[in-house]
Amino acid sequence: MKYRKFGRTGWNVSEVGYGMWGMGEWSGSDDKQSLESLQRSIDLGCNFFDTAWAYGDGHSEPLLGKILRANRGKTLYTATKVPPKNREWPSKREFKLDDCYPPEYIEEYIEKSLQNLGVETIDLIQTHTWEDRWLNDERLPRAIEKMKKSGKVRTFGPSVNRWEPYNGMRAVLEGHAEAVQVIYNIFDQNPEDALFPVCRMKEAAVIARVPFDEGTLTGTLTLDSQWPASDWRNTYFVPENLKSSVAHAEALRPLIPAGSTMAETALRFILSNPDVSTIIPGMRKLRNVEANVAAGKAGPLPLDLHKKLRAHRWDRNPTTWSQ
């Protein structure tokens, strides 16, 4: 495993971190399998874990708590998120701070997460949605300052809304955020335009999430892909999105080197950008943990392939199904 600087925090985080949404609530999750996969990732050098209270309404966080207790003495970084009070993803421009993150509500959820995780301090607390405009309400900067001083959290960062990387830049520029979590992958390259330069300038860490576009960039989706009724992916891969997602994945298939996979190429594409501190692929299966750590070891892509893949940038706008 290789490690990178996590912004200005002084932490060295694994290039391949761990996304814990799937194991919280996607269909087909099995806690025993998830715990084995988490343990394997630690044995292979992963030290950065991203969860959220909302992942199974408190189901994912205790899994992380268990694995932290089983690995006492190791330096493992815990990132979690406060869910929006109105439980609305994505955030909408008209939402006010009081609709989503009133200060006393943030404090309440920090307590809930501390309890779920069984820790005294959370390394990174994130808001699960974000509007830079909320910073106009001075209660928010004060709340961020207060939570860091309390010793209950070490750092703060927004998890910015899907396809809105610009809506998070102010949190970084004004120094409130030590880290920002953003979608960045072969398709979603737009954080490079302005967010990454700002993070570089302010030494804010970048957590690259959704490296496989929720599955598209594993190359396993087809026009017939379906999930059990309760699975969130049905609401993302609505027919119009499934069709265009499959078409975009098929268009880059000829570029995948012999002996590699689309998933490996997708991770190595992200690793090619030094602005990224850590990638958090969602993983529940042991074989995916092992494959993704191996992709990290393989490192950045050859320049010519990276250049060809850059042409597969796919700019999208937020929609009702893009939560």
Ligand X SMILES: NC(=O)c1ccc[n+]([C@@H]2O[C@H](COP(=O)([O-])OP(=O)(O)OC[C@H]3O[C@@H](n4cnc5c(N)ncnc54)[C@H](OP(=O)(O)O)[C@@H]3O)[C@@H](O)[C@H]2O)c1
> Which residue type does 262 have?
M
Burial 174-209 (b: 16+ CB within 10 A, else e): eebbbbbbbbbbbbbbbbeeebbebbeebebbbbbb
Q: What DSSP state is assigned to residue 215? A: G
- Site for ligand X contains 6 (CB under 6 A): no
Residue nearer to ligand X on the CB measure, 23 or 198:
23
Other Cβ atoms within 10 Å of 58 Cβ, number: 16
Residue 34 near ligand X by CB under 6 A: no
**286 near ligand X (CB under 6 A):** no
Of positions 22, 65, 84, 191, contacts ligand X by CB under 6 A: 22
Our CB check for ligand X shows the closer of 7 and 219 to be 219
Interacting span for ligand X (CB under 6 A) from 4-12, 150-158, 189-197, 284-292: 284-292
Determine, following the binding rule CB under 6 A, whether residue 214 of this chain makes contact with ligand X.
yes
Residue whose C-alpha is closest to residue 276's, from 182, 188, 210, 173: 182
Burial (CB < 10 A; 0-12, 13-18, 19+), residue 80, is buried
What does the DSSP 8-state code read for residue 314? Answer: -
What is the closest distance, in whole angstroms, from the C-beta atom of residue 28 to ligand X in the complex? 7
Q: Residues for the chain: how many in total?
A: 323
Nearer to ligand X, 44 or 291 (CB): 291
Residue pair 4/12 in contact (Cβ under 8 Å)? The answer is yes
Q: Which of 67, 282, 296, 305 binds ligand X (CB under 6 A)?
A: 282
Cα–Cα distance measured from residue 205 to residue 200, given in angstroms and rounded to the nearest whole number: 8
Contacts of 61 (CB under 8 A, 6+ apart): 51, 52, 53, 55, 80, 113, 116, 117
User: Considering beta carbons, is residue 30 or 201 the nearer one to ligand X?
Assistant: 30
User: CB-based burial of residue 285 (10 Å sphere; 0-12 exposed, 13-18 middle, 19+ buried)?
Assistant: middle
Applying CB under 6 A, does 213 fall inside the site for ligand X? yes
Asked whether position 288 contacts ligand X by CB under 6 A, the answer is: yes
Q: Which two tokens stand for residue 19?
A: 């996304």
Choose which of 21, 53, 109, 156 interacts with ligand X (CB under 6 A): 21
Report how many residues bind ligand X under the rule CB under 6 A. Answer: 27
Interaction mask 82-121, ligand X, x per CB under 6 A: ----------------------------------------
Residue nearer to ligand X on the CB measure, 59 or 128: 128
Say whether residue 128 binds ligand X (CB under 6 A). Answer: yes
Binding of ligand X at residue 147 (CB under 6 A)?
Answer: no
CB atoms within 10 A of CB 74: 9
Closest contact distance (angstroms) between CB of 95 and ligand X is 15
Cβ proximity to ligand X: between 142 and 319 the closer is 319
Least separation in angstroms between CB 289 and ligand X = 8
The residue ranges that bind ligand X (CB under 6 A) are 19-22, 50, 81, 128, 159, 181, 209-215, 218, 263, 280-285, 288, 291-292
